[in-house]
Every structure is written in C-alpha cells, then in structure tokens.
C-alpha cells in the first residue's frame, strides 16, 4: 500500500499512513503480457523463423531430388544436346555413348545379308553426329560456289555425286576454316545413331518400322533426292539416316567378327569404304543394319554424307 500524500510505502495491511495519517491506496500495475507497441513476442518471432527455415529446406531438398532423379534417368540432360556450327549452320546432335548389339538383330527379321553377321557387342564413347545430311548450300559454302557436283540441284537437297576422297577434302577445308575436329562417323557410330542410341526403340528403319515414315526411297522419292529433314526424325532427333542418299562412313569395308569391341574403326586397310542408309532409288538398304560399300574414288548419283565429331 502506498500513501497518496507522502508516497510512503507501507508493507503492513493498514488503512492509514503512519507518517501522515493519509489514507493508503493500492499501487497501479501493468499486465505482465503487455508489450511495446508494434513489437512481437520474442517466442513468436523465433517460431516464424523456424517455420520459414523448414519450408526452405524442404523446397531445396525437393529440387535436389528432382535434379538427381533426372540425371539418373537421362544423363544427357547434363550435356549440351546439340550445337550449330555458326559459320555454315551445320547442326550437330549429341549422342550419349553406350553399349549395343551391332549387326543382324531380331527386328531385321529375314532381311539380313551375310555381312551383317555375326552380331557383336560394341561400346562407344560420347560423340556428335549431323542432324541432317550435308546440303548443297553447305558444300558450296566451303568448297566454292562453282563446285557443286550434284545431279539434282537445290540448296536444301543433300549434296551427292561426291566421292569419299572428295568428302575428306571438304572436311579438311572445313576444319582449317573453323578450327573444328569434324570427321566422318565410324560405321559403329553411324549404326548406333541410326538405331536411336541409348533411346533406341528397336526399329527396323531409323525411327520407325514403316519405311515411308522416315525414308525417301524408290517407292516415294519420285526418283530424285528430296529436301533434308522432311521425313520424321528418329529417337535422337536425327533425320534421313534411312534413305535419300547413301552416306559415306570412315571405315574400310570388311567382315564382322563376334568379339566385343570398344570404339571400333574397322579394318586397317581395304579396297572399298563402307556406305550406309540406302538412297532414293532402292528399298532394301534403308534398314539400320544394312551395309554396302564403294570405291573411295566413286562419285555415284546416290552418294552423300553427314558429319561427326568427338567431344574434344
């Protein structure tokens, strides 16, 4: 109790102050829960911070899980899927390496030839391969406007009537101008890419079991070459690996053996170079396993090519 007159505090339970006989009154107090205006209780602030931290941690964990889930299911997402050579517009598709069975596999049914056997296990490193066959516009941009050997003329038609040796000259000149490391694909790289690589669905032709879906051949070509990329792409987004023009590859032609191989490059020497994929005037060789060959100096009206390169 406090004296209202002299402010004397008396702890005894009496009614009047002993100093001045003034009536005592009870002191005024504020509730214990009262807070400064605009402030939050310290415990509430800590709780809010804790909840926010939990939410952030859960969100980050979910993002990391989805990232690693995607890279496990499809490692290609962490590697550039393709690029375009800027000077000549040559589109290159990334092919994730892997192991596959090369040669006469069951989807080819009874159409295989003897040189597609025996099948063998092949393991390939990552590489790039052309999305399209090299066009006449790209050929003349590198080799000169007056150097177009093609019988069927058109900028977006595949260049044809080019020999293996002339293709080598084109690649040497292209690499000299661009500083690149372009080359022809090996026969194993070509077949792996035509099959759809690691995304293969086991088609007979490159991207389908129905030849008309993916290939220009004698039954639909009009007996001429056709613009690249106008038929459906295969599993890797690559066009015309069945039909339009045969494609030169790097290897000398030779017979298979059944030994497992890693990044094979074919025989060391030979008489003929391998050609793959069939062309506008035939039907049997559009299959992904079909093989043919020609003299490296030959300039047939159905011979073209696409580029490849390593990752280095």
Q: Answer whether residue 36 is part of any domain.
A: no
Do 249 and 184 share a structural domain?
A: yes
Averaged over 15-20, what is the pLDDT?
62
Q: Is residue 64 pLDDT above 90, yes or no?
A: no
Of the CA atoms within 13 Å of residue 68, those in its CB half-sphere come to 5
Do 129 and 15 share a structural domain?
A: no
Q: How many residues does the chain have?
A: 312
Structure tokens at 128: 């790039």
Question: Residue 229's pLDDT is what?
Answer: 98
Do 278 and 205 share a structural domain?
A: yes
Q: Answer whether residue 195 is part of any domain.
A: yes
202: left (phi over 0), alpha (psi -120 to 50) or beta: left
SS3 content of the chain, % helix, strand, coil (to 5): 25, 20, 55
Do 297 and 203 share a structural domain?
A: yes
pLDDT band at residue 63 using 50, 70 and 90 as cut-offs: very low
**Distance separating alpha carbons of residues 131 and 290, to the nearest angstrom:** 20
Helix (H, G, I), strand (E, B) or coil at 194: helix
Do 217 and 155 share a structural domain?
A: yes
Q: Is residue 138 pLDDT above 90, yes or no?
A: yes
- The whole-chain average pLDDT of the chain stands at 86
Do 272 and 203 share a structural domain?
A: yes
Q: Answer whether residue 168 is part of any domain.
A: yes
Give burial (CB, 10 Å; 0-12/13-18/19+) of 283: middle
Averaged over 272-280, what is the pLDDT?
98
Do 139 and 218 share a structural domain?
A: yes
pLDDT band at residue 25 using 50, 70 and 90 as cut-offs: low
Q: Answer whether residue 55 is part of any domain.
A: no
Say which CATH number the domain at 216 has. 3.90.1580.10
pLDDT band at residue 38 using 50, 70 and 90 as cut-offs: very low
pLDDT band at residue 195 using 50, 70 and 90 as cut-offs: very high
Do 119 and 3 share a structural domain?
A: no
Residue 21 belongs to what domain range? 1-28
Do 140 and 24 share a structural domain?
A: no
Q: Answer whether residue 65 is part of any domain.
A: no
pLDDT digit string (tens) for 41-61?
566 656 656 656 656 554 555
**Distance separating alpha carbons of residues 167 and 120, to the nearest angstrom:** 29
Do 157 and 292 share a structural domain?
A: yes
Do 173 and 304 share a structural domain?
A: yes
CA proximity to 183, closest of 249, 252, 84: 249
Question: Residue 73's pLDDT is what?
Answer: 46
Query: Could you tell me if 309 and 189 are in contact, meaning their C-beta atoms sit under 8 angstroms apart?
Result: no
**Distance separating alpha carbons of residues 247 and 264, to the nearest angstrom:** 18
Q: Answer whether residue 48 is part of any domain.
A: no
Q: Answer whether residue 62 is part of any domain.
A: no
pLDDT band at residue 68 using 50, 70 and 90 as cut-offs: very low
Q: Answer whether residue 71 is part of any domain.
A: no
Query: Could you tell me if 188 and 273 are in contact, meaning their C-beta atoms sit under 8 angstroms apart?
Result: no
For the chain, what is the domain count?
2
Do 19 and 99 share a structural domain?
A: no
Residue carrying structure tokens 């260049």: 159
């Amino acid at each position: 109790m406090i004296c209202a007159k002299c402010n004397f505090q008396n702890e005894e339970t009496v009614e009047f102050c002993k100093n001045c006989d003034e009536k005592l009154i009870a002191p005024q107090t504020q509730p214990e829960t009262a807070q400064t205006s605009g402030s939050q209780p310290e415990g509430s602030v800590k709780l809010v911070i804790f909840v926010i931290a939990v939410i952030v941690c859960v969100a980050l964990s979910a993002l990391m899980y989805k990232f690693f889930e995607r890279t496990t299911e499809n490692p290609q997402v962490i590697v550039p899927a393709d690029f375009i050579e800027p000077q000549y517009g040559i589109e290159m598709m990334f092919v994730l390496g892997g192991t596959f069975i090369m040669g006469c596999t069951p989807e080819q049914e009874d159409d295989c030839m003897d040189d597609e056997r025996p099948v063998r296990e092949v393991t390939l490193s990552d590489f790039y391969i052309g999305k399209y066959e090299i066009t006449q516009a790209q050929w003349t941009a590198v080799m000169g406007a007056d150097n177009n050997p093609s019988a069927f003329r058109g900028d977006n038609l595949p260049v044809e009537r080019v020999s293996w040796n002339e293709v080598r000259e084109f690649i040497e000149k292209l690499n000299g101008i661009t500083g690149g490391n372009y080359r022809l694909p090996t026969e194993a790289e070509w077949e792996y890419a035509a099959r759809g690589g690691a995304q293969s669905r086991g088609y007979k032709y490159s991207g389908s079991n129905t030849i008309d879906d993916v290939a220009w051949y004698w039954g639909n070509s009009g007996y001429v070459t056709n613009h690249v990329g106008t038929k459906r792409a295969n599993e890797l987004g690559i066009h015309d690996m069945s039909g339009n023009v045969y494609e030169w590859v790097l290897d000398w032609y030779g017979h298979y053996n059944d030994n497992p191989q890693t990044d094979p490059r074919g025989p060391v020497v030979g008489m003929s170079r391998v050609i793959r994929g069939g062309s506008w005037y035939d039907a049997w060789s559009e299959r992904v396993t079909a093989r043919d060959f020609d003299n490296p100096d030959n300039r047939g009206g159905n011979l073209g090519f696409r580029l490849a390169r390593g990752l280095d």
